[in-house]
Amino acid sequence: MFVDSHTHLCYPDFAEELPQIIERAQAAKVTQIVSIATDLEAARKTLEIAQRFESVYAAVGLHPGEVPTVSLCDMKELAQLASEPKVVAIGETGLDYYREAKDDAALRQQQKDLFWAQLELAKERKLPVVIHNRAAEADILEILGAHAESLPKDWRPWGVMHCFSGDEKFAFDCIELGLLISYTGILTFKNATALRDVAKKVSLDYVMLETDAPYLAPVPHRGKRNESSYVPLIAEVLARVKGVSVEEVAQATTANAIRLFRLP
Ligand SMILES: [Zn+2]
Ligand SMILES: [Zn+2]
């Protein structure tokens, strides 16, 4: 049994065949799916999908890459959506300095403000946080470190660094703060030797699996549309890297997802 801890079922890529996507996931033993929003409209749609399909849960959040289209003004409605029973997390939220924000201090500040606001919302609602980082390690660790200080020490894990592709130090810094890390299909890519080396060193106690579909399809589907039924392909590579059985990977990563998101 597997959990896809991060996919985007509300994206138009899936619109025509959601029931089939979920059926294929079930057939591949991916029994629970956490679907993630990146803006308000996506949050509304994601919640609808989660209400329609029993095995789907929703995370509602504002993605840093959507700034300035999304802003602190959206927080009021986000807070309302966060109260819905099928919402299991706030996210994805975080920092993304890969494109526009790279050389734009004002934009970076807006991202930080939006990130802080969502961390606060998550704390208030006692929901875990799905964190997105791209090219912003130093700033994100500074913010997460300050935030972690304000949380009860027994609330662990309280979030996930999703689509983990950083180095060993970043992985252990995240874990030290009380986060899980989660691997996408990147782990299966031929050129991802460095990431597999990190995965070898990180205990399965701190790890989840995700597709981040429709993106990042694992080998042998690389470059095509991704979907939740491909989670076992990532698990197989992780099992090989760790020298354990696929069942062991399935068990550990599923238990971590259930604990983090408080899934039934
Ligand atoms: Zn992301
Ligand atoms: Zn995502």
- How far does the centroid of ligand 1 lie from the alpha carbon of residue 96, in Å? 9
pLDDT score of 102 more than 90: no
pLDDT per residue over 19-52, tens digit each? 999 999 999 999 999 999 999 999 999 999 999 9
Is pTM, for the whole model, over 0.85? yes
Sign of the Cα torsion 196, 94, 55, 221 reads negative
Contact 163, 187 (CB under 8 A): no
Q: Is the pLDDT of residue 101 over 90?
A: no
According to the model, what pLDDT value does residue 103 have? Answer: 87
Distance (angstroms) between ligand 2 centre and the Cα of 131 equals 9
State in words which class domain 2-261 has.
alpha beta
Helix, strand and coil percent figures for the chain, each rounded to 5:
50, 15, 30
Chain centre to alpha carbon of residue 32: 14
Element (H, E) at 131: strand 129-134
Q: How remote is the CA of residue 106 from the centroid of ligand 2, in Å?
A: 24
Spatial contact of 62 and 264, defined as CB atoms under 8 Å apart: no
Q: Determine the distance separating the centroid of ligand 2 and the alpha carbon of 153, expressed in angstroms.
A: 28
pLDDT of residue 99: 83
Q: Are 226 and 213 in contact (CB under 8 A)?
A: yes
- Over residues 93-98, mean pLDDT: 96
Ligand 1 centre to CA of 181 (Å) is 12
Query: How much distance in Å is there from the Cα of 133 to the middle of ligand 1?
Result: 7
Which ligand number lies closest to the CA of residue 212? Answer: 2
Give residue-wise pLDDT tens across range 225-239: 999 999 999 999 999
pLDDT confidence band for 192 (50 / 70 / 90) = very high
Instruction: Please state whether 261 falls in left (phi above 0), alpha (psi between -120 and 50) or beta.
Output: alpha
**pLDDT averaged over every residue in the chain:** 97
Query: How far does residue 92's CA lie from ligand 2's centre (Å)?
Result: 7
Helices and strands in the chain, H and E counts: 9, 8
Domain ranges of the chain: 2-261
Per-residue pLDDT tens for 57-73?
999 999 999 999 999 99
Per-residue pLDDT, 16: 87
Under 8 Å between Cβ of 243 and 37: no
Ligand 2 centroid–CA 64 distance in Å is 11
